Amino acid sequence: MSGTERRRRLALLVSAAGAMLVALDGTVLMVAQPSVREDLGASVAQMQWTSTGYLLAVAALLVIAGRLGDRYGHRRLLVCGLAGFAASSAGIAFAPGIGWVIALRVVQGVFGALLQPATLALLRLAYPADRLGSAVAVRTSAIGVAGAAGPLLGGVLVAQSGWRGVFAINVPVALAIAAVAVAVRVPAPARRAAQRLNATGAVLVAAVLAIGVHTLVGVPAHGWTGRPTLAGLAFTAGGAAFLIVHERRAAHPIVPPAVARPAPVTAAMAILLVTTGGMFGALFVVSFLLQDALGLGPLAAALHVLPLTVFMVLGAPATGMALRRYGPRRTAATGSVLVVLGILGMCGLPSADASAGVPTAVWGATSAAFALLGVGFAAVMVTATGTVVGDAPAGYAGAVGGLKQTAVNIGPTLGIAVAASLMQTAGAGPLGTLSASVHASRSALLALAVLAALGLLPALLLSARPSPTARRPEPAASTPLGEAPGRRPAP
Same domain, yes or no, for 300 and 414? yes
Contact 77, 114 (CB under 8 A): yes
The predicted-structure confidence for 201-239, as pLDDT tens digits, reads as follows 888 888 998 899 889 888 888 888 889 999 999 999 999
Contact 197, 251 (CB under 8 A): no
What share of the chain in percent tops pLDDT 90? 25
- Backbone φ and ψ for 479, nearest 5 degrees, come out as -135, 170
Q: Is residue 486 part of a domain?
A: no
Same domain, yes or no, for 176 and 278? no
Q: Give the model's pLDDT for residue 133.
A: 78
E strand or H helix at 58: helix 44-72
pLDDT of 489 > 50? The answer is no
Read off the amino acid at residue 250.
A
Query: Which of 3, 19, 26, 6 has the alpha carbon at shortest distance from 280?
Result: 26
- Backbone φ and ψ for 54, nearest 5 degrees, come out as -65, -45
Q: Give the model's pLDDT for residue 230.
A: 93
Q: Is residue 472 part of a domain?
A: no
Same domain, yes or no, for 220 and 341? no
**Poorest-pLDDT segment among 116-130, 206-220, 402-416, 474-488:** 474-488
Same domain, yes or no, for 28 and 177? yes
Position 338 confidence tier, pLDDT thresholds 50, 70, 90? very high
CA distance 75 to 72: 9
> Residue 487: how many CB atoms within 10 A of its CB?
7
Same domain, yes or no, for 231 and 137? no
- Backbone φ and ψ for 261, nearest 5 degrees, come out as -75, -45
DSSP bridge partners of 186 = 479
Give the residue, 475 or 364, on which the prediction is more confident.
364
DSSP bridge partners of 480 = 185
Q: Give the model's pLDDT for residue 361.
A: 57
Q: Give the model's pLDDT for residue 91.
A: 94
Region 88-114: mean pLDDT is 92
**Poorest-pLDDT segment among 112-121, 300-309, 343-352, 424-433:** 424-433
Region 14-27: mean pLDDT is 86
Same domain, yes or no, for 63 and 89? yes
Q: Give the model's pLDDT for residue 487.
A: 37
**Poorest-pLDDT segment among 167-171, 277-281, 284-288, 308-312:** 284-288
pLDDT of 476 > 50? The answer is no
Q: Give the model's pLDDT for residue 475.
A: 39
Contact 449, 105 (CB under 8 A): no
Q: Give the model's pLDDT for residue 25.
A: 80
Give the residue, 489 or 372, on which the prediction is more confident.
372
CA distance 335 to 367: 17
Sign of CA pseudo-dihedral 291, 294, 300, 303: negative
HEC string of 421-479 equals: HHHHHHCCCCCCCHHHHHHHHHHHHHHHHHHHHCCHHHHCCCCCCCCCCCCCCCCCCCE
Give the residue, 179 or 426, on which the prediction is more confident.
179
Burial 221-245 (b: 16+ CB within 10 A, else e): ebbeeeeebeebbebbeebbeebee
CATH number, domain at 139?
Answer: 1.20.1250.20
Same domain, yes or no, for 9 and 105? yes
Q: Give the model's pLDDT for residue 425.
A: 66
Q: Is residue 339 part of a domain?
A: yes
Query: Which of 307, 408, 310 has the alpha carbon at shortest distance from 366?
Result: 307
**Poorest-pLDDT segment among 189-203, 233-247, 358-372, 461-475:** 461-475
Region 284-290: mean pLDDT is 79
Q: Is residue 272 part of a domain?
A: yes
Region 101-108: mean pLDDT is 93
Q: How far is CA 390 from the centre of its chain?
A: 18
pLDDT of 480 > 50? The answer is no
CA distance 74 to 187: 12
* Top mean-pLDDT range of 141-150, 291-300, 359-368: 141-150
> Residue 182: how many CB atoms within 10 A of its CB?
13
Q: Is residue 451 part of a domain?
A: yes
pLDDT of 258 > 90? The answer is no
Q: Is residue 297 part of a domain?
A: yes
The predicted-structure confidence for 395-418, as pLDDT tens digits, reads as follows 777 788 888 888 888 888 888 888
Q: Is 131 exposed, middle or buried (0-12, 13-18, 19+ CB in 10 A)?
A: middle
DSSP bridge partners of 185 = 480
- Tally of domains in the chain: 3
CA distance 401 to 306: 28
**Poorest-pLDDT segment among 101-105, 118-122, 155-159, 190-194:** 190-194
Contact 398, 69 (CB under 8 A): yes
CA distance 142 to 147: 9
pLDDT of 67 > 60? The answer is yes
Same domain, yes or no, for 159 and 284? no
Region 24-43: mean pLDDT is 81
Q: Is residue 76 part of a domain?
A: yes
Q: Give the model's pLDDT for residue 359.
A: 54
Same domain, yes or no, for 293 and 265? yes
CA distances from 139 to 12, 87, 117, 136 (A): 8, 25, 13, 5
Instruction: Kindly compute the dihedral angle of the four CA atoms of residues 16, 18, 21, 22, in this order, to the nearest 10 degrees.
Output: -110
Q: Give the model's pLDDT for residue 428.
A: 41
Q: Give the model's pLDDT for residue 298.
A: 61
DSSP bridge partners of 357 = 353
The secondary structure of 184-209 as a DSSP string is -EEPPPPP-------HHHHHHHHHHH
pLDDT of 479 > 70? The answer is no
Contact 134, 82 (CB under 8 A): no
For residue 369, give its domain range: 261-466
Region 281-301: mean pLDDT is 73
Q: Give the model's pLDDT for residue 1.
A: 59
CA distance 357 to 396: 54
Same domain, yes or no, for 121 and 217? no
Q: Give the model's pLDDT for residue 189.
A: 56
pLDDT of 259 > 90? The answer is no
Position 241 confidence tier, pLDDT thresholds 50, 70, 90? very high
What share of the chain in percent tops pLDDT 70? 84
Same domain, yes or no, for 247 and 311? no
Q: Is residue 423 part of a domain?
A: yes
Q: Give the model's pLDDT for residue 477.
A: 37
Region 463-480: mean pLDDT is 50
Region 344-359: mean pLDDT is 61
Same domain, yes or no, for 121 and 38? yes
